[in-house]
Amino acid sequence: MANIKAVFSKLKFFWLAVFFLWIKTYVLYKVGFRIHTESLLQEFLLFFNPLSSAVFLLGLSLFFRDRLRNIMLILASLLATFVLYFNLVYYRFFSDFLTWPVFYQTSNVQDLQGSVFELMNGTDVFLFVDIVILAVVLFKKKIPTVNLKKREAGIVLATAVMIFTFNLGIAQVERPQLLTRSFDRELLVKNIGMFNYHFYDAYIQSQSNAQRAFADSSDIIEVKHYVDANYKEPDPEKFGIATGKNVIVLSLESLQSFVINETIEGEEITPFLNKLIDESYYFDNFYHQTAQGKTSDSEFLVDNSLFGRGSGAVFFTHAGNEYNALPEILNEEGYFTSVMHANNKSFWNRDMMYQSLGYNQFFDIDYYDVTEENSVGWGLKDIDFFEQSIDLLKSQPEPYYSKFITLTNHFPFELGEEDRMINEYTSDSGTLNRYFPTVRYMDKAVEIFFERMKEEGLYEDSIFILYGDHYGISENHNRAMSMFLGKDEITPFDTIQLQRVPMIIHVPGLTEPETIHTVSGQIDLKPTIMHLLGIDSKNDIQFGSDLFSPERESFVVLRDGSFVTDDYVFTKGICYDKETGTDVEQSYCEPYFEKVEMDLDYSDKVLYGDLFRFYGENKQDAETVEGVTS
Ligand code: GP9
Ligand code: MN
């Protein structure tokens, strides 16, 4: 015992560094990440959880000798601070924590540079103050070097493990099954701390790699049974109403539903979309289901009717998988399939992934004339993008399935004065303020696109699917958002409701437009589009269902395990009544828990196991699977 005491008292400089890192992490939780707690126990956990990893990470420096030990200690503090800082910058935009796969997405980093500077603040330097203090203490005060045995350093690491075990014990009381069921990174950070979360994430990633190696053909049969049991027959009235037509998909950057039919200073934010909605099928309870892969996740969901990854971007991690995606299916039906997007082809690893999804052609930035004059923010302005796309569209053999991905309404929502059709909003969030004029601009671009399609005589032969790809305004702007919405605050319930994105299916000549309230998401688009085109989807593996099916269950699962039904919203472990937005007993949400977990688990199984490699190349081969199920 005396021995242990001695280890502690002779390492004053070390404990000072631990204290700094611990308190700094906690302060950052509160000030930078604005992590909210609901009970004293939760607050205690938040306060306590940085300690174990601080002791462990900095404790590694104790294995070095003499003066080098203290230098390594400062370097370890610096490294830990960078980890905190990268998370902070990432959080400011994504309201989410970094994951290991995000680090592999280096090819995106280049293009993100402009946005990254926007996300840094002058006050961020305070994060490094303790490092400076430590360095000054070390060099000015000439800390005497102490004699430390390896065994003694080991005692410190063992202490870290003990602290962590204690931490985990309380966390399990606070949130049972934290490590087995949670898809929510914020809960993990809240309970076990930022650094421990990163270790845990590394473990999860290595496991998902192992899953492919161990998967075999019986796995796909199990999944097929599950999706077959959930298959919904199409509405015979709608099945095939667009057979042979061109399919135009518009992925509308960062467009959320809260702007629809709303005004700024009396001016409509989306006048064209509002009008289009009156002539279309409009889904007002349609949710994006994306996570860290943003636009690419939405593309993945739409084309595969599978979930993207809980962390990282599937476009990067699983571009080599086999898929049975919509473009590939449509190719077999005689369609030409393409994507139009004026960005580098490697962004989100699109060039690789599009091959796996079966696209015939990717019209990337090289197909567009992009100059300083016709660019803003992330690149080519939407109006110019659509104008230039018309010729590309005309160059394609019909029928075609073409997806257009817009860009102007992207964070940080920059727009030239000449393109501003409505004023900015006035709040303390420049991001939210700027969002409205860029949405208005995108709306105009879509209007021009429709006009051009009519002029070229392409409109009548096409159907149009328009949807918002993901949120544009993160939780970082909750205060300004509550002001815009006229609410006192934005609760977790409101946050989920804000994940609704507009979804419009426009069929020229439609005589009975309708606003459809079924709760749905991007995962439902593949079977919906297939059925509108008169293509059977019974043999497919899909986790969504046809939005027009009379049997359809009004229900959506979000990637973090939150879900929404007609009556309830479940998120962050709380069940909310949808009408009032107030918490209700868990028992109301409980009947859905199993389905939510199975949907996410089976979809992940397909992805991580690369199970389509056992499924066969086309429908005929699929008989091998079907033979088992029927
Ligand atoms: C980039 C564009 C934007 O090509 O799709 O990507 P995001 O940041 O929204 O995922
Ligand atoms: Mn996007």
Count other Cβ atoms within 10 Å, centred on residue 16: 16
What was the pLDDT predicted at 121? 87
414/287 same-domain check: yes
Q: Is 463 helix (H, G, I), strand (E, B) or coil?
A: strand
Which of the listed residues 294, 404, 442 should we mutate to test ligand 1's pocket, taking the one with most ligand atoms within 8 A of CB?
294
Please give the residue range of the domain that contains residue 476: 230-544
277/159 same-domain check: no
Q: Which ligand is nearest to the CA of 115?
A: 1
* Cβ 49 vs Cβ 191: under 8 Å: yes
- Our count of domains for the chain comes to 2
What was the pLDDT predicted at 43? 96
Q: Establish whether residue 406 lines the binding site of ligand 1, counting it when its CB lies within 6 angstroms of any ligand atom.
A: no
Query: What's the 453 CA to ligand 2 centre distance in angstroms?
Result: 24
Structure tokens at 210: 């192992």
What was the pLDDT predicted at 1? 56
Q: Which residue(s) pair with 247 in the sheet?
A: 401, 463
Nearest to 286 by CA among 295, 276, 298: 298
What was the pLDDT predicted at 312? 83
DSSP 551-590: T---EEE-TTS-EEESSEEEETTEEEETTT--EE-GGGTH
387/474 same-domain check: yes
What was the pLDDT predicted at 511? 85
Picking from 177, 210, 243, the residue at the C-terminal end of a domain is 210
Q: Is 314 inside a domain boundary? A: yes
* Cβ 584 vs Cβ 577: under 8 Å: yes
165/238 same-domain check: no
What was the pLDDT predicted at 112? 62
Closest atom, ligand 1, to C-alpha of 350: 4
User: Which residue do the tokens 């709760």 mark?
Assistant: 519
**How many residues are recorded in the chain?**
630
103/184 same-domain check: yes
Picking from 544, 564, 590, the residue at the C-terminal end of a domain is 544
What's the number of CA atoms in the CB half-sphere (13 Å) around residue 548? Answer: 21
List the chain residues with pLDDT less than 50. Answer: 617-630
What was the pLDDT predicted at 3? 66
- Dist. CA 366–CA 349, nearest whole Å: 16
CATH number at residue 445: 3.40.720.10
What was the pLDDT predicted at 624? 41
Q: Establish whether residue 410 lines the binding site of ligand 1, counting it when its CB lies within 6 angstroms of any ligand atom.
A: yes
What's the number of CA atoms in the CB half-sphere (13 Å) around residue 283? Answer: 26
72/168 same-domain check: yes
Query: What's the 297 CA to ligand 1 centre distance in angstroms?
Result: 10
Q: Is 630 inside a domain boundary? A: no
Calculate ∠ Cα 42-44-152, nearest 5°.
Answer: 130
Q: Which residue(s) pair with 463 in the sheet?
A: 247
Query: What's the 294 CA to ligand 1 centre distance in angstroms?
Result: 7
370/306 same-domain check: yes
- Among residues 159, 270, 295, 528, the one annotated as catalytic is 295
Nearest to 517 by CA among 281, 326, 193, 295: 281
- At position 518, the amino acid (one-letter code) is T
174/317 same-domain check: no
- Judging by beta carbons within 10 Å of its beta carbon (0-12, 13-18, 19+), is residue 111 exposed, middle or buried? middle
- Dist. CA 185–CA 191, nearest whole Å: 10
Q: Which ligand is nearest to the CA of 407?
A: 1
Answer yes or no: 295 catalytic: yes
What was the pLDDT predicted at 531? 98
Q: Is 498 inside a domain boundary? A: yes
192/244 same-domain check: no
**pTM, two decimal places:** 0.82
* Cβ 546 vs Cβ 528: under 8 Å: yes
Picking from 493, 519, 544, the residue at the C-terminal end of a domain is 544
Q: Which ligand is nearest to the CA of 296?
A: 1
Query: What's the 295 CA to ligand 1 centre distance in angstroms?
Result: 5
Q: Is 128 inside a domain boundary? A: yes
What was the pLDDT predicted at 554? 98
283/374 same-domain check: yes
* Cβ 308 vs Cβ 300: under 8 Å: yes
What was the pLDDT predicted at 313? 86
146/239 same-domain check: no
Query: What's the 452 CA to ligand 1 centre distance in angstroms?
Result: 25
206/236 same-domain check: no
Q: Establish whether residue 405 lines the binding site of ligand 1, counting it when its CB lies within 6 angstroms of any ligand atom.
A: yes
Q: Establish whether residue 294 lines the binding site of ligand 1, counting it when its CB lies within 6 angstroms of any ligand atom.
A: yes
Q: Residue 235 phi/psi, 5° resolution?
A: -75, 120
Residue having the nearest C-alpha atom to atom 7 of ligand 1: 295
What was the pLDDT predicted at 616? 67
What was the pLDDT predicted at 621? 44
Q: Establish whether residue 295 lines the binding site of ligand 1, counting it when its CB lies within 6 angstroms of any ligand atom.
A: yes
Q: Is 158 helix (H, G, I), strand (E, B) or coil?
A: helix
Q: Is 71 helix (H, G, I), strand (E, B) or coil?
A: helix
* Cβ 360 vs Cβ 338: under 8 Å: yes
